[in-house]
Structures are given as structure tokens and as C-alpha cells.
Amino acid sequence: MKKLILTFALSFLWISLSMASDPAFEKAMKKQIIAMDQIANAEQSKEVANGFLRIAEAKSEEWLPLYYAGLIHIEAAFRFEVNKDQYLDQALEYIDKAEKLAPANSEVTALKGYAIMGKISLDPASRGQNLSPQAMQLFGKAINLDRENPRALYLMAQMEYGMAQFFGSGTDKACGMVRLSLEQFEKEESIITEDYILPKWGKRSAQQMMNNCN
């Protein structure tokens, strides 16, 4: 009996170690992710980004907190009255750091493309020529790294859509792509649990875009 209990306890310990190597990290991440979904102004955005940066500081081998700090800065540039260029540059700085920790990561690559898309949107006439191919290339690379990454598909669709509109050409390709991304978002949702801390944003925006397609 003793042995059985010991084995059970040990194996339980082993499982919990392998599942969540660092519960404190996950707990801190979850707290910030919940806070992230409730950001309503620039100050809150700063607070939550700072939260992620504290985690990044303490766990210098993790790419995820830097990823989220980057994401928050990009979203803030789109949503709030801030120095948009400065926020996007800052986002790119965090993303570059994340890239060093997790090279060839589909999510990080797609996020970098998202930041560059933000840079383009601030001055399309003069930046479009130079940066559009860069953003497209990053989205393409992100898709190649993980064909099931819904965010890479959605962002690529977004870019295609904008360009199709500009040139008055058909949006079929863009719409096909956003449909693919929605399929992947559905698939992703089925594996999302309460403990899921990997990127899962973007479904709502993809659905909005899909509405324009129909």
C-alpha cells in the first residue's frame, strides 16, 4: 500500500512537472492574459504590457511574455491616441527579442508582420512600397512554419484584402484565406482549455472580415 501511494504521488508530481514546468509562470501569465482582454484605454494597456514585461524580466528564456507585450503595443497603436510610430517601434523591439528566444516561430513571425502592417497603415503612400512586400513575406513565412496558425492566415487575408480593394481587383483570394483562417480558429478553440496561455486572439476580427466577404 505504502509503495503504491508513493508511486502514485511521485508520478503525480512528475506529471505536474512536465505539464506545467513552472506553475507560478503560468499563473502570472494567465492573470495578465485575463487583464489583457479587458484593456479599455492607453493606461491600462501600459499596465498590462508592464505586467508581461515583468514576467519576461524574471523568466528571460520565455518568448511568450515578450510576444504579448509586443501584441499589446500594436493593438494600442491601432486603438488609442498614442504616439503610434513609437509604440510600433517598441513592439518590434519586443518581437525581435522574442524571435531570438524562439527562432522560426510561426506566431512570432506573424506578429512581426502585424507590427509592420501597422507601420504601413500610418503612411501607406510612402511606406507601402517598401514595407508591404516585407509584411507579405513575413505572413507567408509564418504560414509555411505552421499551416494551422489561424492568425498568420487571417493577417495575410487582411493584407490581401486591402490590396485587392486598392487595385479594384477581386477579393476572392483574400476571402478564401479568411475562410481558411476561421476553420483553423474553430480547430484551435477545441483545444483551448482554461490553462491555455499560447496566442489565441484574432477570431473576432476574422469573423468581421468574413462578414465583408459575404
Partner 1 sequence: MRTLSIFIFLFLSLSTISFSQTKISGKVLDEKKKGLPGVNVLIKGSYDGSTSKDDGSFEFETDEEGPQVLVFQLMGFKSIEIAIHCEGNAIQIPDQILVEAITEMNAVTISAGAMEASDEKKSVILRPLDIVTTPSAMGDIVGAFQTLPGTSTVGNDGRLFVRGGDASEVGIYIDGMRVGNAYGSTAGNVPTRTRFNPNLFKGTFFSTGGYSAEYGQALSSALALNTKDLSIRSQGDLSIMSVGGGYAHTLSSEKQSLTFSANYFDLKPYQSLVKQNFDWERAPNGWDIELSAQKKLAKGGLWKILARTESGGMEIWQPEPGQEGRGQLIRLRNKYSFAQSNWKNAFENGWTLFAGAALSSNFDDIRIDSIRLERKNQLAHGKFTATKDFSDRLSMNTGIEYFNHQFDESLVDLNFSRDYVDHQFYFFTEWDYYLNKNLVFRAGLRAGQSSLNKEQWLDPRASLAYKISESSQVSFAAGSFSQMPVENLRVLNQTLKNTESNHLILNYLLQKEGITFRAEGFYKGYENLVVFEGYPQSPQNPTNLGKGYAQGVDIFFRDRKSIKNTDYWITYSFVDSKRQFDQFQSEVQPSFAPKHNFSVVAKHFILDLKSQLGISFSMNDGYPYHNPNDGEEMSSKTESFQSLSFSWSYLPRPNLIIHFGVNNVLGRENVFGYRFAQQANSQGVFESIPSGQVAPRFLFLGIFLTLSKDKNANQLNNL
Question: Which of 97, 121, 140, 200 is the binder for partner 1 (CB under 8 A)?
Answer: 140
Of 124 and 210, nearer to partner 1 (C-beta) is 124
Identity of the residue, 47 or 207, whose beta carbon is nearer to partner 1 in the bound complex: 47
- 168 Cβ contact partners less than 8 Å away, ≥ 6 residues apart: none
Per-position x/- string for 61-100, each x denoting binding to partner 1 as judged by CB under 8 A, each - no binding: -------------------------x--xx----------
* Binding piece for partner 1, criterion CB under 8 A, among 105-113, 159-167, 182-190, 194-202: 159-167
Residue 9 engages partner 1 in binding (rule: CB under 8 A):
yes
Q: What angle do CA 93, 96, 97 make, to 5 degrees?
A: 90
Ranges within 161-190 binding partner 1 (CB under 8 A)? 163-164, 166-169, 173
- CB nearer to partner 1: pick between 148 and 172: 172
Q: Does 24 bind partner 1 (CB under 8 A)?
A: yes
- Residue closer to partner 1 (CB basis): 48 or 206: 48
**Residue 111 binds to partner 1 (criterion: CB under 8 A):** no
Q: How far is the CB of 53 from partner 1 (least distance, A)?
A: 6
> In this complex, which beta carbon is closest to partner 1, that of residue 1 or of residue 40?
1
Per residue, what are the HEC states of the chain? Answer: CHHHHHHHHHHHHHHHHHHCCCHHHHHHHHHHHHHHCCCCCHHHHHHHHHHHHHHHHHCCCCCHHHHHHHHHHHHHHHHCCCCHHHHHHHHHHHHHHHHHHCCCCHHHHHHHHHHHHHHHHHCHHHHHHHHHHHHHHHHHHHHHHCCCCHHHHHHHHHHHHHHHHHCCCCCHHHHHHHHHHHHHHHHHHHHCCCCCCCCCCCHHHHHHHHHHHC
CA dihedral sign, ordered 133, 104, 70, 157: positive
Q: Which residues bind partner 1 (CB under 8 A)?
A: 1-2, 5-6, 9, 24-25, 28, 43, 46-47, 50-51, 53-55, 57-58, 86, 89-90, 125-134, 136-137, 140, 156, 160, 163-164, 166-169, 173
